[in-house]
Amino acid sequence: MTTDKKSLRPSATFPQDVLDEIHRAADQGIYEIRGFGAKRDLPTFDDLVLLGASMSRYPLEGYREKCGTDVILGNRFAKKPIELKIPITIAGMSFGALGANAKEAIGRAASELGTSTTTGDGGMTEEERQSSKTLVYQVLPSRYGLNPDDLRRADALEVVVGQGAKPGGGGMLLGHKITERVAAMRDLPQDIDQRSACRHPDWTGPDDLEIKIQELREITDWQIPIYVKVGATRVHYDVTLAVKSGADVVVVDGMQGGTAATQDVFIEHVGIPTLPAVRMAVEALQDLQMHRKVQLIVSGGIRSGADAAKALALGADAVSLGSAAMVALGCNRDVYREDYETLGTAPGYCHHCHTGRCPVGITTQDADLEKRLEPKQGARKLRNYLMTMVLEIQTLARACGKTHALNLEPEDLTALTVEAAAMAQVPLAGTSWIPGKNK
């Protein structure tokens, strides 16, 4: 009997991927846990374009006229603010989720370019302190490995309230990544599934956080800046409360932000995209008259100099990279194909950081796999990528007539879609219409 083509009509409500997921859930009885970030289609900085100078504004000469990219972070209270040569930092990624070689490669590249790296859940490793000239030390709900010596040898602290991939969720590191060293750093038994808390153990709410920040300042003798990181949800309120709590720098991580292991349902369905988050954060700072006084770092799906330039134009002081930095190190590169296949995936599709079997040696604790990422070579690749981003930012800023990347402004932007115009609050291209603002 031949199949009637009409009877092969797919369901819009139950397309093949939905059917597959229901079958998988029925077989396994547990949500999917995976790495990487949101894979769904979301409004991004691609929906904005920059308005280059012509008659009404003068562009700067490429390569000849200077376009600055340096940025100072955390000069509100700290005696030693962070001075970066480029407005791109490396976001927090834990030793445990990442191997030591990846952490070292990231530290080397960032240091060469005069920017900062960030620790993650699990504490500070000697390798990353040694390789990172400027290191931001995260204070997380789990407090794994947290100690006053590392607080004092950090260049800044970052109190993590949430992250874009899972605002409201705690950390997760599956048993096969808890090696002896990782277990010792976290004071946990080996091989267990580590579920770290989603709330800090010793404060709740902004009034407590204000005192917590005071304690961290006292312990570090008011020397270093204190950042507060939030996952993008109710951004206006969260940024306002972070500033009220005394943050020197606010980090806002959009829903495209990556993770080493989180429930897929969390990654795809909680939080808002980075695009509206930047604008909401800037508005909150402006309402408090703290824009540029408390600096704003934006992360979550930043991939290129264009993304960074647009985030800066919306009012961010710097952007931060996690996933993109890993891609520069070789994530999803078309090598070791058979190892991707063993994981049931292929180059370009991998989100298997949670397995600890990273084919390119980044998110693994396996000694043989780790050898695939030689720290110096990895550092060179990441440095090249960051340098490319900086050149792109300068190209775009000069085209808009700016002598410094931070001089980019919302006026330099226009939106290609109504959604992006509404989210970024810049006019729809070819109109002066900003949805919600004017007619």
Residues that bind another protein (CB under 8 A): 28-30, 142-143, 146-149, 151, 175, 186-189, 191-193, 195, 197, 201-203, 208, 211-212, 214-215, 218-222
Which of the choices ligand SF4, another protein, none does residue 326 contact, using the CB cut-off of 5 to 8 A by kind? ligand SF4
By beta-carbon proximity to ligand SF4, the closer residue of 85 and 303 is: 303
Give the chain's length: 439
Kindly state the smallest distance separating residue 375's Cβ from ligand SF4, in Å: 16
Select 258 or 305, whichever has its Cβ closest to ligand SF4: 258
* Interaction pattern, residues 320-339, with ligand SF4; x per rule: CB under 6 A: ------x----xx-------
User: Binding of ligand SF4 at residue 362 (CB under 6 A)?
Assistant: yes
Is the CB of 144 or the CB of 227 nearer to another protein? 144
Provide CB contacts within 8 A for 419, sequence distance 6+.
Answer: 43, 47
CA–CA gap between residue 430 and residue 200 (Å, rounded):
48
- 352 is a contact residue toward ligand SF4 (CB under 6 A): yes
Q: Which of 110, 350, 397, 422 binds ligand SF4 (CB under 6 A)?
A: 350
Measured CA distances, 214 to 139, 226, 289 (Å): 14, 10, 22
Residues 6+ apart with CB under 8 A from 365: 96, 99, 177, 179, 181, 182, 356
- The sign of the CA dihedral 252, 254, 258, 264 is positive
Cα separation of 253 and 86, whole Å? 19
Residue 221: name its binding partner from ligand SF4, another protein, none (Cβ under 5 to 8 Å by kind): another protein
| 81 scored as a contact of ligand SF4 (CB under 6 A) | no
For another protein, give the closer residue by CB, 139 or 360: 139
Q: Which does 363 bind (CB under 5 to 8 A by kind): another protein, ligand SF4, none?
A: ligand SF4
Binding partner of residue 201 among ligand SF4, another protein, none, CB cut-off 5 to 8 Å per kind: another protein
Distance CA 112, CA 115 (A): 8
- How far is Cα 20 from Cα 14, in angstroms, rounded to an integer? 9
Q: Is 289 exposed, middle or buried (0-12, 13-18, 19+ CB in 10 A)?
A: exposed
160, 138 Cβ separation under 8 angstroms: yes
Residue 203 vs 340, nearer CB to another protein: 203
Least distance to ligand SF4 from the beta carbon of 211, Å? 38
What is the C-alpha separation between 39 and 311, in angstroms, rounded? 21
Question: Which of ligand SF4, another protein, none is residue 266 near (CB under 5 to 8 Å by kind)?
Answer: none
Identify residues 27-46 at the interface with ligand SF4 (CB under 6 A).
Answer: 35-36
Tell me the closest approach of the beta carbon of residue 84 to ligand SF4, in angstroms.
Answer: 25
Cβ closer to another protein: 72 or 184? 184
**CA 283, 286, 291, 293 torsion: positive or negative?**
negative
CB of residue 350 to ligand SF4, shortest distance in Å: 3
Q: Does 359 bind ligand SF4 (CB under 6 A)?
A: yes
Lookup: tokens for 109: 């590249």
**Of the residues 280, 311, 353, 379, which one makes contact with ligand SF4 according to CB under 6 A:** 353
One-letter amino acid identity for 332?
N
Residue 163 beta carbon to ligand SF4: minimum distance, rounded to whole angstroms: 16
- Give the nearer residue to ligand SF4 in terms of CB position, either 182 or 275: 182
> Which position has the token pair 């090249």?
384
By a kind-dependent CB cut-off of 5 to 8 A, residue 341 interacts, out of ligand SF4, another protein, none, with: none
Q: Is 328 helix (H, G, I), strand (E, B) or coil?
A: helix
In whole angstroms, the minimum distance from the beta carbon of 173 to ligand SF4 comes to 14
Closest CA to 295 of 278, 308, 307, 271: 278
> Token pair for residue 69?
């990219």
Q: What gap in Å lies between CA 287 and CA 303, rounded to an integer?
A: 29
Residue 256 φ/ψ, nearest 5 degrees: -80, -5
297 with 89: CB under 8 angstroms?
yes
Residue 351 makes contact with ligand SF4 by CB under 6 A:
yes
- Taking alpha carbons only, the member of 151, 76, 155, 64 closest to residue 110 is 155
What is the size of the binding site for ligand SF4 (CB under 6 A)?
A: 14
Partner from ligand SF4, another protein, none binding residue 332, C-beta < 5-8 Å depending on class: ligand SF4
| Strands in 119-187 per DSSP E | 134-139, 156-160, 172-173
Asked whether position 363 contacts ligand SF4 by CB under 6 A, the answer is yes
Least distance (Å) from another protein to the CB of residue 11? 28
**Binding footprint of ligand SF4 on the chain (CB under 6 A):** 35-36, 326, 331-332, 350-353, 358-360, 362-363
